[in-house]
Structure 1
């Protein structure tokens, strides 16, 4: 029995008729760029997030972040505080906007450590990017309080947190602007690239729309220097189908996480994920830490169990971002990059597959 880390084919087959119908509808209507499918998905995703939210579909999650940051008109060279432990797109979006990244260490829940965050705020700081990593919300109350205290903008990176909540409210709706990715492996994933910018600020979203549509709100209108980033009709149609299942898929992820937490709870050699009571986690990833990672990876591989490393290097330790870290320490992110291990997670898993993972880990560490 092979235990897959991710199984997009199985997911497709479970909703094949609806997906095929949606794809055929787009082809039949020939609405490949924009059109009703995109408008309907934007509306439905806004309703999913909550009252008062505005949305804009774009080409991918990185574009969503870049455009969201650009819309805030931050001063060139300003410092943006981001987690050391996140996907590289978070940092790319900052640097490509002419801003400077300042890396902040992660806490036990892998999101921004609040003490380290405040210690790195300077007069040059202009914004904080709150990354809701692995499906769990960042510490939004504390982040928003610091943003208010120091007059900083807050961007939410929701690429791994579709449907996650903080104090009963969907992530993406707290900061000045938020960004989602619909990369195929996400909790809500397209059959290609796609992204979404979200905000309660109508003017902010209009600026995003201008940037993404060649600098104008209508064809051949170019009020500013813009770019081209659009969610295509095919992806929107597919995402409309999948959005109907997102809550049930996330609920299944929570069931699987519960099995892992219970089955591995007495393992002294494994540090399990810490979940805040204020957050409903959607478990994009189930990440453990262990000093015996190499041994576990070899045993998992021999037993047909797929795994992942998220992330093998924290961003301050990558060649691209080494110039940004002079005098900056991120001890947890650096230490944990040799310990983190992502176990199979997703609604595709059956209980017996999860139990196999648990048994292999326990046999290896206790045998």
Structure 2
């Protein structure tokens, strides 16, 4: 079986560094926040070319706090995409606001800027684009629309560690950017973790306070906050992995280029890297009108696949109260029916890629 993701292979490549970092934390007696978290924050801020990085316990928490710090709350609206993991929408609701969806671009699968202006109302407080699958949204028009409307842009960069948009790091373009370190991410912890990055001093101070029970100093609670602190063990492990992230990213990109070449002229549509941008291929998602047949054919040949995501958020039962219906966002709905993720991780071998591509090109299914 060729797995969709192999975290054990990654661990084997850095096991000595990881174990040394873990033992350092265990022997320190400092298990929550502390110097390990501060060191990782500084390193990640440098990686993203921003002034501040605030570590939290998950990507969802990062989104939640970024929204709150930007002034999003009860009665407000936040514009976002329906074609994403549900956490993006959940964070908006946790902040007390209403998610307002607009359709995606059929090529990039990211938020389509041409639909945003029509969705803005007096209640709109932010735009929350998602850099899906490791490819940045088209940020220049999004930022321009936001400036004209006097609203914030908060980037969901949870799948886009190291992605570039015309030379700018994902997460560095809006008032803040949010990352997840869930184990399967390009930069993944040995558990949960997240980060908010920003160049805004006030945003950073607000988020630091919110993540630790709203404290400014021990037992001085100046606002109602949360227990969203990062564990020192996760920070130490992530600090080790961050040093390898660029090499892993280039391996992902090389694998994607090989897939692109081998699948050229096949019945599937391969992912697009938008001109001037750097795709980091959190997943390598092809499109097929016969996805079910393709997935079954690949499984019969020992190839694992994934679906990111088979049902758009506006059609999820949990968000039926938002009032959206089938047909409201046709590009997102079509993508949800067609997208299939092929195995892709840095340790994947060329031979494995060749096997997967040959299975995709086989005549075992009808496109």
- Normalising TM by the smaller chain, what interval? over 0.9
Cα distance in 2 between the residues matched to 1:351 and 1:29? 42
Local SS of the residue matching 2:100: strand
Q: Distance in 2 between matches of 1:191 and 1:364?
A: 40
**Aligned-partner SS, 1:217:** coil
Q: How does 1:183-332 map to 2 (within 5 A)?
A: 183-267=182-266, 269-326=267-324, 329-332=328-331
* Alignment deviations for residues 129-183 of structure 1 (CA, whole Å, 9 cap, x no partner): 0111100111000100110111111000010000101111111111011111000
SS at the partner of 1:196?
strand
Q: C-alpha separation between the residues in 1 aligned to 2:40 and 2:78? A: 31
Cross-structure match for 2:180 = 181
Match of residue 84 from structure 1: 82
For 2:17 and 2:176, the matched residues in 1 are separated by: 32
- The Cα of 1:70 is off from its aligned counterpart by 0.7
Structure 2 residue runs of 5 or longer lacking an equivalent are: none
Contact 1:129 1:157 in 2 (8 A): yes
Deviation at 1:53, TM superposition (A): 2.2
Whole-Å separation in 2 of the counterparts to 1:75 and 1:236: 30
Q: Deviations over 1:250-307 (max 9, x none)?
A: 000000110111111112x312212111210100011111111111111111111110
The answer to whether residue 155 in structure 2 is matched with residue 156 in structure 1 is: yes
Do residues 341 (structure 1) and 340 (structure 2) align?
A: yes
Q: CA RMSD in A?
A: 1.4
Q: Is the contact between residue 103 and residue 325 of structure 1 (CA under 8 Å) also seen in structure 2?
A: no
Q: Tell me how far 1:243 sits from its aligned partner.
A: 0.3
Deviation at 1:233, TM superposition (A): 0.5
> For residue 131 of structure 2, what is the aligned residue in structure 1?
132
Query: Using the alignment, how far apart are the partners of 1:366 and 1:231 within structure 2?
Result: 46
Q: Distance in 2 between matches of 1:49 and 1:340?
A: 29
Asked if 2 retains the 8 angstrom alpha-carbon contact of 1:158 and 1:172, the reply is yes
Question: Residues of 2 paired with 1:13 and 1:271: CA distance?
Answer: 33
Deviations 1:307-361 (A, max 9, x none): 0000010001101112214478211111221111011111020000001010011
Aligned with 2:94 (options 82, 93, 96): 96
Q: 1:366: how far off?
A: 8.3
- Cα distance in 2, alignment partners of residues 137 and 148 from structure 1: 19
Q: Is the CA contact 1:209–1:217 (under 8 Å) kept in the aligned structure 2?
A: no
**Matched residue SS, 2:296:** helix
Q: Which residue of 1 aligns with 2:122?
A: 123
Aligned residues of 1:102 and 1:325 also touching (Cα < 8 A): no
Q: Give 1:65's aligned residue.
A: 63
Q: Structure 1, unaligned stretches of length 5 or more? A: none
Structure 1 distance, partners of 2:155, 2:227, is 22
Query: 1:231 and 1:364 mapped to 2: Cα distance?
Result: 49
Cα distance in 2, alignment partners of residues 99 and 298 from structure 1 = 40
Contact 2:297 2:364 in 1 (8 A): no
Give 3-state SS (helix, strand or coil) of 1:338's partner.
helix
Instruction: Name the structure 2 match of 1:14.
Output: 13
Figure out how many residues of one structure are paired with residues of the other and give that number: 364
Q: Secondary structure at the match of 1:346?
A: coil
Distance 1:331 1:365 in 2: 29
- The question of whether the paired residues in 2 share the 8 Å contact of 1:163 and 1:171 is answered with yes
Cα distance in 1 for partners of 2:341, 2:192 equals 23
* CA deviation after TM superposition for structure 1 residue 124, in Å: 2.2
Deviations 1:85-143 (A, max 9, x none): 01101000101111010111111101001112222222222110011110011100010
Alpha-carbon distance in 2 for matches of 1:212, 1:49: 21
Partner in structure 2 of residue 114 of structure 1: 113
Whole-Å Cα distance in 1 between the matches of residues 72 and 17 of structure 2?
43
Q: Which stretch has the larger CA shift, 353-362 or 117-126?
A: 117-126
Q: CA deviation at 1:75?
A: 4.8
3-state SS of 1:174 partner: coil
